[in-house]
């Protein structure tokens, strides 16, 4: 297929500018808004997706979702983009402004931040409490209405027991859909930023992991997939009063697992391989991103590249191995990232080079350094920090890495489920000796009402869908890992440029007997 050049695409955009006097048809679905100029020929189409506008070539017989990313270009790269924006705008936050909702009035106190879709402000409900109000961009009202439907489904869950944000109400101000939530504290990302990305200890990670696994178990019980878990969307409730008590927020990209085929989800670096490769999607994508978040908490760095799908896949293959043949055979976008080799009796897939990827997709990519350069396997995470001080702490770290490997399995059908993960030894702490006096045993006391054994989650049945009481998987059996025979202590020295040297000091082999 002949790909359009950047100039040709811009020419189409300039042509579109001359067609704006024609009738404008706007077609919306759950995630995109299509602006079609010159409706009779559908000659020029602009797609709005994730807060960006993209210029598409002539649709011909193909549906818009079948177009490759190489065939679209962000229109703000073309001249005259400003004229297309029109009435697109974020809500203007004005301190002390009074907003009127059905249940009462809100006073704006201050802005809390702005994203692609919305602005968030701290507000005070004049009759009761301080809240967080999310103002959806005026051109994204369809997304706001969809998000409201998600929160209505979430009302089936107890927000405190299931560790999800409490939704209060919705209202409209100046054509902006507004969503009011309980006011929480810092996100995991903001919390780490304030302490210069100092990593969490494994005992602290356990507290957060357990709560979020309860969240995923609860979401699965109502057939909902969050689809955008990342450090920004995990919020500390009140770290001073309830250390490490967290809740999951921002369900703007959530899907019903029974109707889930959108591949424009998750941030690169936290994007599951099945999303990149175009495999069937389900709640396993949330388990992957939770694993990536826990790795971020353990290292203070993103485990996977955040700038390129190709680089993310390359690093996954480097650390976790290539997806199995049958997985790639059924992947819609496998041929962008892999090529079937005919050099052996049986056709086998191999990873494309960056040059081959660019030739196939038209997307330029570059290799950037990161902590992933230090790891050949996920087991190498054991060497990232100084060696644990005692065998019990070492055993706890190994248990964490064991869980992480199962959360980051390349095959979503073999990835650990929330129920299985809640029974993993890292969460239950069954691997730790009773009475051991080390930091690994204090995590259960670091948050109020957060049980470290598997937490039961009620299952709900709605009028439109029935949730099975069993997921059909075999019961999880915990298998203890052995300490690597060539255990080494890495000297971790952070350089001024943020990199880490590869100096390694060998130390005597350790033998740990598992109970």
What is the DSSP code string of 59-93?
-TTS-GGGS-GGG-EEGGGSTTHHHHHTT------
What is the fold of 206-506? Transferase(Phosphotransferase); domain 1 (1.10.510)
Residue 103: per-residue pLDDT: 76
What single-letter DSSP state applies at residue 340?
E
Report the C-alpha gap between 328 and 264 in whole angstroms. Answer: 19
Pairing of strands 234-236, 246-248: antiparallel
Pairing of strands 504-506, 246-248: unpaired
Of the candidates 228, 250, 286, 396, the residue annotated as catalytic is 228
Q: pLDDT averaged over consecutive 10-residue blocks of the chain (515 residues)?
A: 44 43 40 42 45 43 45 39 45 76 80 76 78 84 88 96 95 86 95 96 97 98 97 95 95 91 88 96 98 98 96 98 95 95 78 96 93 96 89 94 98 98 96 58 42 32 28 32 32 32 31 35
> What residue numbers does the annotated binding site for ATP cover?
134
Pairing of strands 167-173, 130-136: unpaired
- How large is the greatest C-alpha to C-alpha distance in the chain, in angstroms? 77
Residue 436: per-residue pLDDT: 52
379 is catalytic: no
Report the C-alpha gap between 111 and 121 in whole angstroms. Answer: 4
Report the C-alpha gap between 313 and 361 in whole angstroms. Answer: 15
Report the C-alpha gap between 66 and 256 in whole angstroms. Answer: 22
Residue 115: per-residue pLDDT: 73
CB-CB neighbours of 283 under 10 Å: 23
In CATH, what number does 98-182 get? 3.30.200.20
User: What are the extents of the domains in the chain?
Assistant: 6-85, 98-182, 206-506
**pTM reported for the whole predicted model:** 0.67
Residue 101: per-residue pLDDT: 78
Report the C-alpha gap between 213 and 451 in whole angstroms. Answer: 12
- Residue pair 301/383 in contact (Cβ under 8 Å)? The answer is no
The DSSP bridge partners found for residue 135 are: 119, 178
Helix, coil or strand: residue 46:
strand
270 φ, ψ (degrees, to nearest 5): -125, 10
What single-letter DSSP state applies at residue 206?
H
Residue 507: per-residue pLDDT: 30
| Ramachandran class of 263: left when φ > 0, alpha when ψ lies in -120 to 50, beta otherwise | alpha
């Amino acid at each position: 297929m002949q790909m359009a050049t950047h100039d040709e695409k811009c020419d189409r955009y300039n042509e579109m500018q001359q067609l704006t006097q024609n009738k404008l048809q706007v077609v919306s679905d759950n995630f995109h808004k299509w602006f079609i100029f010159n409706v009779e020929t559908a000659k020029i189409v602009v797609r709005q997706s994730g807060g960006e506008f993209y210029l598409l070539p002539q649709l011909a017989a193909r549906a818009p979702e079948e177009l490759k990313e190489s065939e679209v270009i962000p229109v703000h790269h073309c001249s005259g983009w400003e004229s297309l924006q029109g009435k697109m705008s974020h809500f203007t936050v004005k301190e002390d402004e009074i907003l009127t909702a059905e249940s009462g009035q809100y006073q704006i106190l201050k802005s809390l931040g702005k994203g692609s879709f919305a602005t968030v402000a701290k507000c005070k409900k004049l009759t009761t409490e301080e809240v967080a109000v999310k103002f959806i961009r005026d051109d994204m009202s369809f997304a706001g209405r969809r998000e409201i439907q998600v929160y209505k489904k979430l009302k089936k869950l107890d927000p405190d027991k299931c560790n999800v944000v409490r939704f209060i109400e919705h209202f409209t101000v100046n054509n902006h859909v507004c969503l009011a939530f309980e006011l929480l504290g810092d996100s995991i990302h903001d919390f780490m930023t304030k302490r210069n990305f100092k990593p969490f200890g494994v005992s602290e990670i356990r507290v957060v992991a357990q709560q979020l696994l309860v969240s995923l178990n609860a979401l699965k019980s109502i057939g909902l997939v969050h689809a955008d878990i990342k450090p920004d969307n995990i919020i500390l409730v009140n770290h001073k009063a309830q250390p490490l008590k967290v809740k999951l927020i921002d369900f703007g990209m959530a899907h019903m697992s029974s109707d889930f085929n959108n591949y424009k989800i998750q941030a690169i670096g936290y994007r599951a391989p099945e999303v990149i490769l175009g495999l069937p999607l389900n709640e396993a994508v949330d388990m992957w991103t939770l694993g990536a978040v826990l790795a971020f908490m353990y290292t203070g760095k993103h485990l996977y590249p955040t700038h390129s799908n190709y680089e993310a896949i390359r690093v996954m293959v480097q650390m976790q191995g290539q997806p199995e043949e049958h997985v790639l055979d059924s992947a819609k976008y496998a041929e962008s990232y892999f090529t079937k080799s005919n050099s052996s009796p049986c056709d086998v897939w191999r990873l494309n080079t960056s040059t081959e990827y660019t030739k196939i997709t038209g997307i330029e990519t570059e290799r950037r350094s990161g902590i992933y350069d230090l790891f050949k396997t996920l087991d190498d995470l054991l060497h990232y920090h100084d060696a644990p001080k005692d065998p019990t702490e070492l055993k706890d770290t190994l248990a964490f890495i064991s869980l992480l490997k199962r959360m980051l399995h390349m095959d979503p059908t073999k990835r650990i489920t929330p129920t299985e993960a809640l029974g993993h030894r890292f969460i239950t702490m069954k691997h730790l000796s009773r009475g051991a006096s080390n930091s690994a045993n204090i995590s259960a006391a670091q948050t109020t009402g957060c049980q470290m054994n598997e937490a039961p989650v009620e299952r709900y049945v709605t009028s439109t869908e029935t949730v099975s009481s069993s997921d059909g998987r075999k019961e999880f059996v915990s298998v203890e890992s052995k300490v690597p025979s060539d255990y080494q202590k890495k000297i971790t020295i952070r350089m001024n440029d943020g990199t880490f040297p590869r100096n390694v000091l060998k130390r005597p082999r350790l033998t740990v007997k598992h109970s």
